Amino acid sequence: MKRPQIHKINTDVLIIGGGLAGLNAAIGAAEEGAKVLVMDKGGIARSGSIGGGVDHFLAYLNEGESWDTKEGYLKYCADTAKGAVDLEIQEAVFCDELGRALERMERIGVSLYNKEGIYYRTKSMGQPGPYWINFNGKRLKPCLAKEVLRLGVNALEKTVTTRILTRNGAICGAAGFNIRSGDFYAIQAKAIVGTTGDTVRLFESPTRNPFNTWHCPYNTGDFQAMAFNVGADLTNMEYVRMTLVPKGFAAPGFNAFFSLGCTLVNGHGEPYMERYHKLANRAQRSMLVWGTLNEIREGRGPIFIDTRHLDSKTRNHLFTTLGYDKDTLPDFLKAKKEYELEEGLIEIMISEGMQGAPAEVCGSGIRIDRECASSIPGLYAAGDSADQHHCVHSCTTGGYLAGKKAASYASKIKRMDVDSKEVRQEMKRVFAPLQRSKGLTSTEFEDVIRKIMTDNLVPAKNEGGLKLALHKLKNIVPYAEQLVAQNFHELMRVHEAQSLLKVGMICCVASLARKESRFAPYHFRSDYPERNDQDFCGLVLVRKGKSGEIVTGFHRLEYRV
Amino acid sequence: MPPVIDYKKCKACGTCDRHCPGDVILQEKKKKPIVLYPWECWHCGSCRQDCPKGAIRIVFPPRMINI
């Protein structure tokens, strides 16, 4: 292995993570005239949870119906995400940016219109009307990457960010390394936008492969861990998000099935969702997972999605749109032969858990304000690592706004030097696993985290279990500090594992603080099984205490719609 | 295990390596790419979609399609 080089780079805005939110942030910042750098562990053309494609964009379009307006949308937010969604931020970020986002999609060459020139709109997940626009988003990331480069944004690809650097409590840069050359980067930046997504490899996969996950398995909560370390507030971190996926393959596609009218049936061949929610199969995601968990628990599995009643035109649309959302899913279903069976029953399973959004309209992660700014001056968040963003519509609108506001902040301040001593220390810390001859591999270590988290947080939690999980996670901290890597790829996985441990601990502490149940099974406390709006209608805040411990607070949310 | 590269079709352009979000595929200088960490693939299909020679196919292991 050759000796790594050290590079120092200056930029106005640094974007950590070049997924959907990150590239929209890059566009927003570049259009404001800022010098922009994107750092991504992969390549910006295909990184992130929609790297391979996507098929849905949530929007209200003011086409006449009352649900199809800003007011209708905000009411939907309050109805399905009460206690987690901040309506003021929805209005200032999503509602104000939606028009520009729809225009931008067309401008970069990814049309939301179908071949007939109309929006193909569908409804699911508790929506009062068809908010989903079905579209072919297979080239969304490559088109965004092209636009970002056209605007003069620099991209550092295959480069992991390991630390955010601050001076006098404000952002001054970040550090990281290239996973091929091992080159180390000290970035001086006036502002940072963090967009590394949710935390995926935190819970056991039902297929036993931790990379067989619904969202991108390379989303390991790196920004959540780094932002926590510099003192940023985080919220909604107690929610363990899950969904329904085809048996054997944790692929997205769920939304397409239910929005086109498919039905969940149990092993007795009976539809069951009517027993759990009045909207049945069009109820919100957490409710479908909850109902399905209960069917399995009571011995009525296996579970199937019934597509038999769909006409051939709708079936063709379903098959096409599944491939837009997950390129390889149609191949998988063909290989399993389920889709082609006359029966049209597709066996499903409950996915792994993840640190992620409690509902479809808000997120989990860094607490943001109306300008997507965190509690640290110069630090912004967007996409699935921000507490009020989630999914394609939010990443597109919120990413852009975060980039724009970060650039505006950067234009008003002077660049601060990074502390060279801190950079040297970070470099030593980052590369230490390569020098060790003894220690756990990241694979072994991650397995322990996932086992602890899964045993104690999925699908139900209680005080005893959460305290036990926290105790066990603390017990493995010494191992985290002695992990080994044989090359830079493994070194990336080592740093990911350390992020997973931090996010796991935060998740346990936040879960202990919310002494009620909300969005079950995402946060179901068996010792507090009811929802308690009087005491818990709001956000559990998490931040780093004076001696590094995780402390909590509470921010109450009001709903007047 | 996905993805599988057809080396007769592959022209070693490096697109699959550059676009793989998980650093699963490695192409060293002038050599043809190898699927170095198949276990870490999340089947996004980016390599297959973007391969200009159509040299990549996805093969699902029994633990995915036969369980």
pLDDT 10s digits, A221-248: 999 999 999 999 999 999 999 999 999 9
For residue A222, what are its two tokens?
């790196």
pLDDT, tens digit (0-9, with 9 covering 90-100), for A504-514:
999 999 999 99
How far is A519 from A238, CA to CA, in rounded Å?
11
Res. A554: pLDDT tops 70:
yes
Res. A561: pLDDT tops 70:
no
Is B39 at the interface with chain A, CB within 8 A? yes
Q: Where in chain A is the domain with CATH 1.20.58.100?
A: 421-556
Go through chain B and tell me how many residues it has: 67
pLDDT at position A317: 87
SS3 A265: strand
Burial class (CB in 10 A: 0-12, 13-18, 19+), A190: buried
How far is A355 from A179, CA to CA, in rounded Å?
25
* Number of alpha carbons in the 13 Å side-chain half-sphere of residue A450: 23
How far is A282 from A262, CA to CA, in rounded Å?
9
Contact list in B for residue A179 (CB cut-off 8 A) is 23
Give the list of residues 6+ apart from residue A268 with CB closer than 8 angstroms, or none: A300
- Nearest C-alpha in B relative to A347: B67
How far is A328 from A458, CA to CA, in rounded Å?
28
SS3 A349: strand
Mean pLDDT of B4-9: 98
Res. A272: pLDDT tops 90:
yes
| Torsion sign, CA atoms B52, A316, B62, A220 | positive
Select from A63, A74, A79 the least CA-distant residue to A126: A79
- For all residues of chain A together, what is the average pLDDT? 96
Question: Which domain, by its residues, includes B48?
Answer: 4-65
Select from A399, A495, A401, A496 the least CA-distant residue to A19: A399
CA of B39 vs chain A CAs: smallest distance (Å): 7
pTM over 0.95: yes
pLDDT, tens digit (0-9, with 9 covering 90-100), for A395-452:
999 999 999 999 999 999 998 999 999 999 999 999 999 999 999 999 999 999 999 9
β partners of residue A538 = A556
**Yes or no: domain A243-350 corresponds to CATH 3.90.700.10:** yes
> pLDDT-based confidence at A2, cuts 50/70/90?
low
What distance lies between CA A467 and its chain's CA centroid?
Answer: 26
Q: How many CB atoms lie within 10 A of CB A14?
A: 31
Res. A461: pLDDT tops 70:
yes
HEC states along A126-177? CCCCCCEEECCCCCHHHHHHHHHHHCCCEEECCEEEEEEEEECCEEEEEEEE
Report CB contact under 8 Å: B49, A43.
no
- For all residues of chain B together, what is the average pLDDT? 95
Task: Count Cβ neighbours within 10 Å for each residue of A246-279 and write b for 16 or more, e otherwise.
Answer: bbbbbbbbbbbbbbbbbbbbbeeeeebbeebbeb
| Domain total of chain B | 1
Is B28 at the interface with chain A, CB within 8 A? no
SS3 A116: coil
> pLDDT-based confidence at A1, cuts 50/70/90?
low
For residue A496, what are its two tokens?
């990911």
Q: Which CATH number does the domain A6-51+139-240+354-420 belong to among 3.30.70.270, 3.50.50.60, 3.40.50.300, 3.20.20.60?
A: 3.50.50.60
Contact list in A for residue B64 (CB cut-off 8 A) is 207, 212, 248-249, 332
pLDDT at position A341: 60
Instruction: Provide the CATH number for the domain around residue B10.
Output: 3.30.70.20
pLDDT, tens digit (0-9, with 9 covering 90-100), for A115-150:
999 999 999 999 999 999 999 999 999 999 999 999
CB pairs under 8 A between A and B: 100
pLDDT at position A340: 64
For residue A180, what are its two tokens?
């091929």
Res. A522: pLDDT tops 70:
yes
- Decide: A38 and A153 in contact? Cβ < 8 Å: yes
Is B45 at the interface with chain A, CB within 8 A? yes
- Decide: A167 and A189 in contact? Cβ < 8 Å: no
Measure CB to CB from residue B42 to each of A45, A217, A335 and give the nearest one: A217
Q: What percent of chain A has pLDDT over 90?
A: 93
**Yes or no: domain A421-556 corresponds to CATH 1.10.8.60:** no
How far is A444 from A34, CA to CA, in rounded Å?
43
Long-range CB pairs of A299-302 (<8 Å, 24+ gap) are: A300/A266, A300/A267, A300/A268, A300/A270, A300/A272, A301/A266, A301/A267, A302/A247, A302/A266, A302/A267, A302/A347
SS3 A359: strand
pLDDT, tens digit (0-9, with 9 covering 90-100), for A353-404:
999 999 999 999 999 999 999 999 999 999 999 999 999 999 999 999 999 9
Res. A293: pLDDT tops 70:
yes
* Portion 5-24 of B in contact with A at CB < 8 A: 18-23
pLDDT, tens digit (0-9, with 9 covering 90-100), for A207-228:
999 999 999 999 999 999 999 9
ipTM exceeding 0.85, yes/no: yes
How far is A370 from A404, CA to CA, in rounded Å?
12
Type of residue at A317: H
With the CA atoms of A76, A77, A80 and A81 taken in that order, what torsion angle do they form, in degrees rounded to the nearest 10? Answer: -170
Res. A551: pLDDT tops 80:
yes
Angle, to 10 degrees, between the axis of helix A312-325 and the axis of helix A329-336? 120
Res. A315: pLDDT tops 90:
no
> pLDDT-based confidence at A338, cuts 50/70/90?
confident
Res. A4: pLDDT tops 90:
no
